[in-house]
Amino acid sequence: MSNKESFVQSIIDGYSIKGDAITIGAAMLNGETLADAQIKIPLKTMNRHGLIAGATGTGKTKTLQVLAEQLSQKGVPVLLMDIKGDLSGIAAESEGHIKIDERHEKIGIPFKKHKSPVEIMTISEQAGVRMRATVSEFGPVLLSRILDVSETQAGIIAVVFKYCDDNKLPLLDLEDLKKVLSYATGNGKAEFEESYGRVSSSSTGAILRKIIELEQQGADLFFGERSFEVKDLVRKDSNGNGYINIIRLTDIQDRPKLFSTFMLSLLAEIYATFPEKGDADKPELILFIDEAHLIFNEASSALLNQIESIVKLIRSKGIGLYFVTQNPTDVPEGVLGQLGLKIQHALRAFTANDRKAIKLTAQNYPETDYYNTAEVLTSLGIGEALVSALDEKGRPSPLAATMLRAPESRMDILTARELDDLIADSPLTDKYNELINRESAEEILNKKIEEAHAEEIKEKSRQEKEKASSRTTTTTRKSTAQNPILKVLTSASFIRGVMGILGKAMR
């Protein structure tokens, strides 16, 4: 058997799928694309998470687009983080191209035009279905990790949540949280000390500064009502295609704190809400996190630990996480080790550090007799990638340099008119874009403070009246005591004398 035949057979054996799968391309060897060695990813392993990496311009976004639309056609809903603003075209059919036809002829997959059902969402000022969460839903532990506070300050946040629970004060937005923190060391200081112990004003001040920092990145738009229900992420259209939910994040590239806050909140809510799935035939939901380094670069160690924990646990709910970034080293080791599917586009070696990174990346892939992995990494063309997957039993499949299929949807973005129409036609827009501002902790405490202030004024007025009355009585007594005429007229001897004269006259 020739080297080529041996390679093809290894791919056929390694990527032979009995259950449902998505086909992403065909394997390559020595520059030749082998149509009979197609690369298939079993749906039942796609909740084992994954990575799409590669230098700028190598085709990461189009690979993400291919995976999303193929999953949708298999009835698997998808959530995409669109940080560069170039994914909305999934909602429209491909316009086709001769280059696409040539590519698909090589890989042996017929090309068809297809558009997917799409929801456009937002957590910022951009148009779309608004995604919000309340402070209460975050909880004290997650909020403390997001704010990166000290252990003492985290304890104070826990006390604040307990106080609000005990007193039925809804914590909806950041204004509510700020108000309770101020109240704890201001008007409500005595109340807090009596029930929860002393709360340091220096600690609450430090927490307030952290909250303001988060607000400056736009978090005030994210916290509030109406809260987004994660079950709306797993909708399907009338044809059984899973919805592709695209979150527009083009205006938060310089606000990584908001991005990580939103991501961690969303993952925690999904984990808490979705039931255990076990080894299901296909995932419940797949999330693609583009520009994943934005989460990890700015994250504290506590936040990284939280992310790693969620990555390890959330797959049991049938949720797959796929990180899209330029270099695998952008993803922490603890997360990288949890990823079952790796699609590695070309890396460029411009510096000594680049060459070291390429050698390190090559070591993350299964050993192969058919490639020099480090060399292949620098020679891959656009739309080509090294693929390492898991078979249906969770075992690593053979490493394959792969020519990837082209997206069946539009590679360009929607026009402004198309985007507006898509958002306006969504039933979720009416559901979530109504701003709700019901009475919460801030309003209730303001009312409480006003009532206490009014009672204080009333009590002060009463005390002043009593003092005034007391002064009047005292003044009268003093006047009587000091007036010599009154003194004589009211003296005992004078009265006795008068009474004696009157007595004689009557006799």
Sequential DSSP letters for 211-227? HHHHHHTTHHHHBSBSP
Does residue 117 belong to any structural domain of this protein?
A: yes
Question: Sign of the CA dihedral 487, 488, 494, 495?
Answer: negative
| CATH number of the domain bearing residue 426 | 3.40.50.300
Q: Identify the pLDDT of residue 305.
A: 80
Burial class (CB in 10 A: 0-12, 13-18, 19+), 99: exposed
> 186 in a domain, yes or no?
no
Res 494: pLDDT? 47
What's the angle, vertex CA 201, arms to CA 195 and CA 206, rounded to 5? 120
Note whether residue 466 is domain-resident. Answer: no
Examine residue 497 and state whether it is found in any structural domain, yes or no: no
**Domain coverage including residue 13:** 3-132+225-432
Count of domains forming the chain: 1
In a domain, 75, yes or no: yes
Residue 67 to residues 76, 159, 228, Cα–Cα distance (Å) = 11, 45, 25
Mean pLDDT by 10 residues, the chain (507 residues): 84 86 94 92 93 91 95 96 90 94 94 95 88 86 85 91 88 88 86 86 92 84 86 95 93 72 83 87 92 73 78 91 88 86 89 81 85 90 94 90 96 93 93 75 70 64 73 59 54 52 51
Question: Measuring CA to CA, which residue among 112, 113, 129, 109 is closest to residue 121?
Answer: 129
- Look at residue 410 and tell me if it is in a domain: yes
SS3 288: strand
Q: Is 423 among the domain residues?
A: yes
Helical pair 189-196 and 174-184, crossing angle rounded to 10 deg: 80
Task: Answer whether residue 506 is part of any domain.
Answer: no
Whole-model pTM above 0.75?
yes
